[in-house]
C-alpha cells in the first residue's frame, strides 16, 4: 500500500538565525595558572543558549583564532581534560576586545567528571574479553557507559531494574546476567569512584591542532511543516529532537531524521536555519537518490518512504514484498546510482531492494543461515540482525549481520543474489563501507577492531584500536579521494581517523561531553559530518541532539 502526504513549504522553526556577515573573528592566547602558554586547549565561540559553537585548538604558543563569526556577542570557553573550563562572556566578534582575549586555565578540582566513557568503561571488569564484548553488544548500543548520567542508580535494586530493561532482548550471557549488577556497583558506586585509578589525559597530536569543529544544537521544534489543512495546534510544538542518522543533500542542506518528533529536520549551514518536516512516523536512516529525493527507512512502521525535496511530497510504502502490509525493522539503506534501486537491510528479517518508481516493487534476498558462511558457525549469537549495508564501486551489495557475526555479498545481476557470507575475525560487525578499490572496511563493535576484507583474496587485515576492548566503533566511512578511514569515537567523545597504509589512529576530540555517534558522512571538501545521538538525551552535556562538522585541517 502506498500513502501520499503533501507537506507545505514555508512554516518553519528558525534557530540561531545567523543571516548576515560572517567575516569577524576572536583571537587571543590560553595560559596556565603560572602564565605559561597552553597547547591543544579547545577554544569555543558559543552563541546564546549554546545553539551553535565553533571550536579550534590553541597552537604550541597558546594562541588561537576563531574566524567566520558574525558581529555579535559570544561566550568564549576554554576546555581541556585535566583543567577547569574557563568561559569569558559577552565577547563581541570584531571588536577591539575580541583581538586580545586571554583565557587562564587552572587545574581541575575533580578529573573524574571529565573522564571520557572509554576510560570509564575500563572500570567495568569481566572475567574474559568475550564476556565484556557481550556486554558491549547488548548494553552499550544506545548510550555511553559509566558517565555521570549512567551512574545515576544509587541502590542495587535500581541497577537491577535498569539492567533488566536494558537487556530486554535477553542477549547477555546467563552467567553475566547473574553477576552484572555487582560488577556495575564495583565499578560505578560512589565508593568505587573514590578509588578509581589515576587518569592521564590524552594529548592532541600536532596534526589535529589545525582542525575546526562546528556544532549546532537541534533542540525542541517550535513548529513544523505539516500536511496541508492540518490543525496548527497539532503542529505547534514538539519534544527534544533525537537524530539517528544524517545525510548531505545535493541542495546544500544537511538532513537528519528526528525520531521523537516523527520528522525530517534540515540544517542550512550557511544561515543556521533549522526546519522540521512532520512525516508522521520515526525514521532510522536517510539517503539521496540520483534525482535528489531523500529515501528513508521508517523503522517504527516497517515502511520505506520517498521525500521529494523540491515539492515536500512524501510517499510511504511497505518495506516488505507484496502482499505483506509492513516489514520488520528497516534499518540502513543505500541507493545504487548504477540501477537506481534502493537497497536496505531489515534488522528483523532480510536484505531488500525497492524500485524507486511506482508501484515500488520490493525484492527480498534471503541471506544464509547458520553454518553456511565461510568459516561458518563461529561467533554467532541469537538473531541474525542484518544491519550495515553499502554498495561497492562494481555494483556488488555488501551487508553486515551484527548478531550473526557475518558480512555478506549480494550479486544484483544474478537471480537470487548468488549470496555468500564470511565470518569476520572481530566481534559485532556494524556499519561497513567500501573504499574506491572495493575493499570492505568493517568496524568491530564488540572488540574495538577495524577489519579490511579483500573480496578478491578473501583475506583480512586487522587494525586494533588503542584501548580496543573499551572502544565502541559504531560506524565508519571512507574518503574515497584520499583513502582515509573515519570512525565514530562513540565512547570517547572523538572522531577518529585511520591511515590505512600506516595503521595509525588519530583522535579529534569533540567539544561536548557524552557525544554518541552512529553515522559519518564526508562532503566534497573532505569535511566530516555526524550527529550526537546519545539516548537518553538527558545524559548528554546539554540534553540535546546536534549536527557536528569537523574540518580536519589536513
Q: Tell me: the pLDDT tens digits for 175-229?
A: 998 899 999 999 999 999 999 999 999 999 999 999 999 999 999 998 888 654 4
Task: Establish if 164 belongs to a structural domain.
Answer: yes
Judge whether 421 lies within some domain: no
Summarised one tens digit per residue, pLDDT across range 102-145 is: 999 999 999 999 999 999 999 999 999 999 999 999 899 999 99
Range of the domain at 156: 114-194
Among 60, 84, 111, the domain boundary falls at 111
Q: Is residue 222 part of a domain?
A: no
What pLDDT, on the 0 to 100 scale, is given for residue 204?
97
The confidence score (pLDDT) of residue 18 equals 40
Residue 32: give its domain's CATH number: 2.60.40.1120
pLDDT tens for each residue of 156-169: 778 788 777 766 55
**Beta carbons within 10 angstroms of residue 290's beta carbon:** 13
Has residue 73 been placed in a domain?
yes
* Pair (96, 158) in one structural domain: no
Q: Which residues contact 143 (CB under 8 A, 6 or more apart)?
A: 149, 150, 516, 534, 535, 536, 539
The tally of domains found in the chain comes to: 2
Residue 236 pLDDT grade (very low, low, confident, very high; cuts 50, 70, 90): low
Instruction: Tell me, yes or no, whether 73 and 49 share the same domain.
Output: yes
% residues pLDDT > 90 (the chain):
81
CA angle 112, 117, 123 (to 5 degrees): 70
- DSSP 8-state class, residue 206: G
Residues 67 and 125 reside in one and the same domain: no
Q: Is there a single domain that holds both residue 96 and residue 38?
A: yes
Do 36 and 94 share a domain, yes or no?
Answer: yes
Q: Over the stretch 86-97, which tens digit does the pLDDT of each residue have?
A: 999 999 999 999
Q: Are residues 34 and 98 in the same domain?
A: yes
pTM score of the predicted model: 0.94
What is d(CA 145, CA 126) in angstroms, rounded to the nearest whole number? 14
Strand partners for 101: 28
pLDDT of 13: 37
Say if 61 falls within a structural domain.
yes
pLDDT over 80 at 253, yes or no: yes
For residues 120 and 182, state if they share a domain: yes
| The last residue of a domain, from among 47, 76, 111 | 111
Whether 71 is covered by a domain: the verdict is yes
Q: What local confidence, expressed as pLDDT, does residue 80 receive?
A: 98
Q: What is the pLDDT of residue 3?
A: 53
Q: Final residue of a domain: which of 194, 224, 240?
A: 194
Residue 94 included in any domain: yes
* Mean pLDDT computed over 338-365: 96
Say if residue 373's pLDDT is above 90: no
The pLDDT-based confidence of 304 (bands split at 50, 70, 90) is very high
- Domain membership of residue 269 (yes or no) is no
Same domain assignment for residues 98 and 142:
no
Do residues 71 and 95 both lie within one domain? yes
Amino acid at each position: 500500500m502506498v500513502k501520499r502526504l503533501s507537506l507545505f513549504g514555508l512554516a518553519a522553526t528558525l534557530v540561531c538565525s545567523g543571516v548576515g556577515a560572517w567575516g569577524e573573528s576572536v583571537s587571543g592566547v590560553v595560559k596556565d595558572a603560572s602564565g605559561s602558554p597552553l597547547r591543544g586547549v579547545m577554544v569555543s565561540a558559543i552563541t546564546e543558549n549554546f545553539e551553535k559553537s565553533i571550536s579550534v585548538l590553541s597552537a604550541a604558543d597558546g594562541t588561537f583564532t576563531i574566524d567566520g563569526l558574525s558581529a555579535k556577542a559570544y561566550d568564549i570557553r576554554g576546555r581541556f581534560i585535566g583543567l577547569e573550563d574557563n568561559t569569558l562572556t559577552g565577547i563581541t566578534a570584531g571588536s577591539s576586545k575580541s583581538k586580545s582575549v586571554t583565557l587562564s586555565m587552572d587545574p581541575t578540582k575533580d578529573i573524574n567528571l571529565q573522564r571520557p566513557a572509554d576510560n570509564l568503561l575500563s572500570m567495568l571488569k569481566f572475567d574474559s574479553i568475550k564476556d565484556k564484548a557481550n556486554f558491549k553488544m547488548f548494553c552499550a548500543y544506545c548510550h555511553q557507559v559509566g558517565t555521570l548520567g549512567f551512574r545515576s542508580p544509587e541502590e542495587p535494586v535500581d541497577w537491577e531494574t535498569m539492567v533488566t530493561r536494558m537487556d530486554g532482548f535477553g542477549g547477555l550471557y546467563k552467567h553475566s546476567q547473574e553477576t552484572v549488577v555487582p560488577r556495575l556497583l564495583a565499578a560505578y558506586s560512589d565508593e568505587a569512584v573514590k578509588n578509581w585509578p589515576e587518569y592521564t589525559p590524552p594529548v592532541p597530536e600536532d596534526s589535529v591542532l589545525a582542525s575546526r569543529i562546528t556544532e549546532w544544537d537541534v533542540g525542541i521544534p517550535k513548529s513544523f511543516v505539516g500536511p496541508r489543512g492540518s490543525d496548527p495546534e497539532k503542529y505547534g510544538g514538539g519534544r527534544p529532537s533525537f537524530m539517528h542518522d544524517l545525510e548531505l543533500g545535493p541542495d546544500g542542506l544537511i538532513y537528519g531524521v528526528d525520531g521523537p518528533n516523527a520528522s525530517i529536520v534540515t540544517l542550512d549551514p550557511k544561515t543556521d536555519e533549522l526546519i522540521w518536516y512532520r512525516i508522521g512516523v520515526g525514521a532510522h536512516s536517510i539517503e539521496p537518490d540520483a534525482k535528489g529525493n531523500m529515501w528513508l527507512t521508517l523503522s517504527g512502521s516497517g515502511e520505506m518512504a520517498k521525500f521529494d525535496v523540491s515539492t515536500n511530497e512524501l510517499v510511504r510504502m511497505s518495506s516488505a514484498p507484496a502482499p505483506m502490509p509492513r516489514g520488520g525493522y528497516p534499518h540502513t539503506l543505500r541507493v545504487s546510482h548504477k540501477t537506481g534501486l534502493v537497497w536496505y537491510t531489515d534488522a528483523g528479517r532480510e536484505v531488500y531492494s525497492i524500485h524507486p518508481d511506482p508501484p515500488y516493487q520490493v525484492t527480498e534476498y534471503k541471506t544464509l543461515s547458520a553454518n553456511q558462511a565461510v568459516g561458518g558457525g563461529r561467533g554467532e549469537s541469537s538473531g541474525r540482525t542484518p544491519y550495515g549495508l553499502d554498495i561497492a564501486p562494481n555494483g556488488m551489495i555488501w551487508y553486515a549481520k551484527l548478531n550473526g557475526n557475518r558480512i555478506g555479498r549480494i550479486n544484483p545481476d544474478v537471480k537470487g543474489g548468488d549470496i555468500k557470507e564470511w565470518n569476520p575475525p572481530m566481534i559485532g560487525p556494524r556499519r561497513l563501507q567500501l573504499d574506491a578499490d572495493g575493499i570492505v572496511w568493517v568496524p568491530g563493535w564488540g572488540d574495538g577492531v577495524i577489519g579490511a576484507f579483500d573480496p578478491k583474496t578473501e583475506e583480512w587485515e586487522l587494525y586494533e584500536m588503542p584501548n580496543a576492548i573499551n572502544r565502541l566503533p559504531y560506524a565508519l566511512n571512507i574518503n574515497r579521494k584520499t583513502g582515509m578511514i573515519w570512525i565514530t569515537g562513540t565512547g570517547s567523545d572523538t572522531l577518529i581517523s585511520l591511515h590505512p597504509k600506516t595503521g595509525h589512529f588519530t583522535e579529534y576530540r569533540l567539544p561536548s561531553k557524552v557525544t554518541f555517534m552512529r553515522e559519518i558522512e564526508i562532503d566534497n571538501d573532505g569535511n566530516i559530518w555526524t550527529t550526537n545521538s546519545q539516548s537518553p538525551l538527558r545524559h548528554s552535556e546539554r540534553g540535546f541532539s546536534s549536527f557536528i562538522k569537523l574540518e580536519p585541517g589536513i
